Structure formats: structure tokens, C-alpha cells
A and B are shown apart, each in its own frame.
Chain A
Amino acid sequence: MKTDFYFVGLGGQGIIKLSEMIAHYGMEIGEKVKFYKEVGLAQRGSSAHGEVRIGDVFGSRIPPFSADVMVGMEFSEVLKGIKFIKPEGIVILSDRKIYPIDMMSEIEKYPKDEDIINLLNRQKVKLIQIKAAEIAEEIKFPKAENIILLGVLAEIISLDKVVLIKVLKQHVPGRFIEQNLIAFDRGVDIAKKYCN
């Protein structure tokens, strides 16, 4: 058995932190783990992605059309994962959009929502769209978009939450643990509603 996770977003969003926590989760449950993170040149705003493979795996990178789950933190960046998500895989997608600086005066060039959704549907994925930006605003913790998605992920694919919370606590600064746990729980709740 194996589970391949593909995480995609932009530098500064916490997407790598999210991947790292899943990799450590894999270690905690005693499985074999492979964890790759794309280290870009620019610190913020350039594409970033992480790949975590848990279980019976050898290669360090996810082969095309093999990822069981994809988590996208920026709407259009999910396009980069389309060649990795397997047909009928799960896609958890935040509706957050970030325009590159050279597109600012021509925002209409940003791909249309329906074009992206269409491609995902053609891959027959199970698509779960999350208003992560809005929820982060609601709980007054804008940095927690990644943790909200972690909560969603945990619920949707039934990760062991006790183990995951232990890992979460090790990966966020002490003074932010409470806020992160709130964000995590919100993610779990939203996912529950989604499943019903």
C-alpha cells in the first residue's frame, strides 16, 4: 500500500510546511517516507510544491498520474499538478488567487475558473473546493490557510488526528498552537459538512 500526496502553491503560503507535516506524520505512523520540496530561487510569490510518498515506495518523486491526493493552495497553481494526480484521485483546492506582478495590469489574463475546473473534471477527480482565505479571515488568523487545508485533508482521507495534532504542535511556534488548532478543527468541520 502507498499514498502519494502532491502539494502545490506559492512560496510564502506555507505549502512546504504543510507537506513537511504530512511527511513527519508518515514517520510517526512507522511507514517508509519520501519527501521532496521544490526550493525556488525567489523567496515569495514563485511557484512552490512538495511531494510526500508514504508506504511501499522507492522513487523519490511521484510518477505521472499517480498522486492519490493533491492539495492546491493557489487556484491556478493546481494546473501544475494535473499531470500528477491520478484519475479519480482527490483534489482539495483553495479558492485563493494570487496574481503575478507582471499580470497586475491585465488581470483578465488569469485563467478562468471554469477552464481549470473543467480540466480537473475531465481527470474525473473528486474535487473539494475550500474558501480557505475567507475562513482564515473569519478566525482572524490569515496565516492559517495551510492548516485549514490540513484539517480538511485529515478528515477526507481519514488520517489519525491524534498523531497529526502531535506533529502539528511540533511544527508551529508555541505561541500560535492554540490558533492553529482552531484552524485545524475548522478544516475538519468543513470537510465533514462536505462529506454529508
Chain B
Amino acid sequence: MKKLLTGNEAIAEGIIESGVEVVSGYPGTPSTEVITSLIPMAKDLNIRVEWDINEKVALEIAAGAAWAGKRAMVTMKMSGLNVAADSLCSIAYSGFTGGLVIYVADDPGTAAGMTEQDSRYCAKSMIIPMLDASNQQETLDFTKIAFGVSERIGGPVFLRLTSEVAHVASDVQYEESIFKDKSTPFFERNIAKYSKAKALFCMNQHQEALDRLEEARKIADLEIEIDKIHYEGKLGVIVSGSPWMNLEEAISKYKLKLSWLKLGMIYPFSQKTIKSFLDKVDKVLILEELDPFIEEEILKIAGQYEKKIKIMGKLDNTLPKVGNYSFDIVKKALETFLEIKLENEVSQEIVEKAKNLEVSRPSSFCAGCPHRGTYYALNQAIKQLKYKKEDIIVSGDIGCNFLGANPPFNSCWSEVSMGASIGIAQGLKLAGIEKPVIATLGDGTFFHSGIAPLINAVYHNIPLTIIILDNGWTAQTGFQENPGTVDLNEGKKNKKIELIDLVKGCGVKNVFLTDPYQYKDTLEILKEAIKYKGVSVVISRRECALQASKRKVSLPKYTVNIEKCIGCRKCIKELACPAMSFSFSKENKKGVMQITSACFGCGLCKSICPTGAIEVIANED
């Protein structure tokens, strides 16, 4: 039977078919949808699925389950793997009795922003086998294989996808049968295996991790044949991951005669398979996105040969290290490699002309977004305290709140990683920046990694203003819940954590709470917080407007009184609200300002209109 599944949904299907009992993770594009697609089914399937506070905690939870002999999966994007790395490395040394698969999604081409980090190097540095799936069917198959291998070797296995596999859907063959583990959870007390208390323990564990790696390779070669090989001539392509799909397209479209080796397990490499492939070819093209991870290995092996094998890839600049590999890039690399022209160049002139005509649509806050009010008030507070905007550094953070860097607000100066806004701000102060430094971050980001740097700022008594834009959700990745989310779902036992208590508990004396829909109050509070000579925290709290509308929260809407409107467009220029529309008409030379049905009712435009032309629509009831 077949289903239309994205790579992420295929992993979810693989989790179900593999009888996994615990699934943990932290949202991060392009990895998020594994857990979001499992959550609605979790109860019926009797799988514990949860979003955790950050990737490190999520990994520890999944590892704990594997220590008790169960199958567990943890999901994250490449940036999250950095967060989880400390614990993961230690757990990879110890091993376990259950099965643990770490799903990590890399993002060549940065569909979602962030670095183009290549997580394959983590497999090498942490001594963990890694599978790299090249399409959605393989993703489902590899998920099941990964659990099998993990359980056999007693150590973690990485499953890696890139955005192109994670987010694209295709027809996937699935099975009804589900693996059932009937064992009772059991964790054996074994200090030599599960602690790092002696040098001898650590070195023994190191050796065992290396042995597991070798064992995984043996299973992959002898029992699964995870690397696929095809011989057709002396020209060969070595490929892994999503570029495979475009290679296959090119082979079919241009009827190419090529030998190819598709690597499924990309760490550790199969020396035997690679050697038998190199035996039969004279010239090789390495097709892999991001760093020359495979290419370096192939060069090493090819160097042992007496015959000369020409290796083409990134190191000779046939292919780029940056961005994802579109069909065009693959086609051009094949043209260089095969020394033929596959297709006549189509004139790019029309494409260029179209590009020049395109309308640019900068991302802005949604209609009713509470962050709009916070950043507007912050800019005004800076102005009213007689600072120049260009003198006040606002250290931004990951999430929707960073849209405050875009026009018309132009508030944030930098974005690093989850929670980093606070630490960076401290460093700027220590460097001697005398004017106030402000850090802005969302509630989800604060819970994830903002608490430790906040405590650090209080402990060292660094004068800082930290604004937590608390919209109650981990919104940017698609509205996941976090410990501050209002608990609305029936039957849930989750306990809500109050941010005010948490911040006070970190030792902050000056904590303010404001509602960004109340412009004047927010402005005064921000001025007071910025003037304070210690750590002050402003919690700017209002639920994400998109989530609030989904929950049927309804506020009075606004309209423009055309008689009073002078057509100055202050509202549209300074707030950039998608619910506002402006047009010229023959009858009305000053232009017609309108508020559309997209209005959520935040009322910010009313607060700033110089002529009082924006009015509440009288309740129709």
C-alpha cells in the first residue's frame, strides 16, 4: 500500500512500524513535522511523544528510555545537535541495551535560515554510525534499519536528512505490520558502562564505541547491503542524500551510461565497497551537498591505488560547497565530468527580465502580532530617552521576534543561536559599551537556553535590559507548545511555568509585566527598565494572534474614518500591518486608507494615529 509522505512523515511512519515507545525532540525546521504528525496519533498507538525544553534534554530523555531497553527516537535540526552534543557524545561511549535513533536534519540552501552546518562530521567525532537517506521511501526503510542496527550494536545511530528529502512528499510503500517489544523496562546498574568516573572506564568505553562502529558496518554490508552499486562503464558517480534524485532524473532524461555508487551508510564508510567500485572506474564525480565529507574519504582510498583515478567534486571546484544542489547544478557538473553538452543553453534574458520585474515582499509581523507593539514601543522609548537609534544595540534572538530586524522597525542588530541574545549583550557591556544594551527574545527561546545567561548576568551584576516577548507559543516553527503555553488541551497533565516567578527566581529584582497592545503603558515601562542600572527584565505578554484566532479569541476590530484621515500614512509606514491597505482614487486625492478583514484588533494603529481617524467598529450584537 502507498501513501503520499514527506521525508519527515516517512520517519513518523518508520517510528510506528518499528514499535518505538518514546519520541522526544525540539522543533527546528526542517525536522519539526516528525513529531507534529505523530502527536495526534500518539495516544492510540501508545507512544509517548513530546516536545521538550531543548535538544539536550530531549536527547537525554530518549537515551534514558534506551538505557531501560526500549526503542526511542529524538528529533532536531543541525543547530539543535550542537546543543545536544555534550550528552550525546557521552552516551555514544556508554551504549545501551535498547535502540536509539537520532534524527538530524541539515538545511543546505537554508530554506529556514541558520547556518549550513554539515552534521556528518558529528558522526565521525562522536563515533556514531550515520545513515543518509536520499528519498522518502528510503527514509522510511532507513528508519526501520536504523533501529535494527542500533539495537544490535547497543549504541546510537544517526538518521540524517536534508530539507529536500525532509520536506518533499512522494508516494511511499508502507507496511501494516508493527514491531512489538513486549519486554519490561530494565536498567542494569553498571558503573563501568554508565559513568565516566575512572579513566579506565572512559578508555574502555571509547574502545567499545569503536567496536560498535565496526559492527554496524559489518551488519550494513553483509545483511542489509545498504550501499547500492551499478556498473555501466568507466565513468562513475559516488552520491549520497538528496542529490541522488536529480542524478536519477538526469540519467533518465539524457539516457546517460554511468556507473554509480550510492552510499546509504555514510559513516563509517565501507572500504570494501568503495574499493570494488574504484577498481572498475577511471574517473569519479562525487555528488554530495555541503562539505567534501565523502570526497576526502574517497581521495584517501584512491591514493592507495597504483592506477590513476581522477576524482572530481568540490576540491577541484566542479561543485559548490554552498547551497543545495538543484537539477541545474547537477546537470552542469555532469557536463563538466562527461565533457559533453547535455542540453542547449536556453536564453536567460527572459528570466533576468522577469526577475527585475518581481515584487519584493519582505516578511513582516502578522496582523495583530504582539511583537509589533513591543518593537514600536521600544523604538519610541529609545527616542524619548534622548538616545539615537543607531547608538542603542538590540541583541536579537531566534524566532518570530527577530522580524524586529526588518523594516520599518529595524530594531535588532544580531541573531546568533537560541538564547544567545543575553550572553552577547553581556559581552558588549564588558567591552565597555556605555549606552544601554538591550536583549530581545521570545518565551520559547528563553525556556530553551535563556535561563543560564540570565543568571550569569545577575550574578555578575551587568546592567542590561532583557525583553521577553511572551506570546505563549513556540510560534515560528509552527506553534508548538512550551512550558509557558496556556494549557488548553483537555486531559493534559502538563504544568504551566509562570515566567515572572522563573525570572524572579533567577535573582532579577526589577521585573516588569506589560501588554504590548497597551502602547502607552508599554512605552513607560520600557523607559523605566532601560533607565535602571542593573538587570531589568520586561515580560511583554500577549498571545500570538494567529493562535488566539484559532482559539476563537475575538477582539473589537478597527476601521478608518475617512473624514478624519488626512492620508499621512503614518500607520502603514511605521507599523507595516498586513491588515492595512492604501490606494489612490479619482474622487479622493489624499488616498483611501482601509483596514481589511484581516484585522485582529490589536488597536496599535489607533494608538498612533495623529488625527484620531481610527475607530473601533461598534459591536454588531
Contacts and interface: CB of A to CB of B under 8 A. Distances in A.
Partners in one complex: yes
Interface of A: 10, 23-24, 27, 31-37, 39-47, 56-61, 63-65, 76-77, 79-80, 82-83, 99-105, 107, 110-111, 115-116, 119, 122-123
Nearest to B353: A119
Question: What 9 pairs between A and B have smallest CB-CB spacing?
Answer: A59-B249, A58-B248, A82-B354, A60-B168, A63-B327, A42-B363, A58-B249, A104-B582, A35-B169
Given A36-B167, A111-B359, A83 B4 contact: no
A172 to B, nearest CB: 17
Contacts of A41: 112-113, 363, 403, 476
A75 to B, nearest CB: 9
Contacts, number: 143
Interface stretch (B95-103, B374-382, B573-581): B573-581
Contacts of B165: 60
B29 interface: yes
A44 B168 contact: no
Interface string B420-444: 0000000000000000000000000
Given A34-B170, A100-B362, A122-B350, A39 B249 contact: no
Interface of B: 2-4, 29, 111-113, 135, 164-165, 167-171, 242, 245-246, 248-249, 252-253, 326-328, 331, 346, 350-351, 353-355, 357-364, 366-367, 403, 407-408, 476, 546, 569, 572-573, 576-578, 580-584, 591, 598
Contacts of A57: 249
A65 B357 CA distance: 19
Contact of A110 (B359, B569, B572): B359
A60 B330 CA distance: 13
Contacts of A103: 359
Given A34-B168, A104-B580, A61 B355 contact: no
A33 B327 contact: no
A119 B354 CA distance: 7
A35 B4 contact: yes
A101 B576 contact: yes
Contacts of B135: 60
A63 B112 CA distance: 22
A31 B407 CA distance: 46
Contact of B569 (A64, A65, A105, A119): A105
B357 A104 contact: no
B224 to A, nearest CB: 23
Contacts of A43: 366, 546
Given A76-B357, A103-B359, A119 B578 contact: no
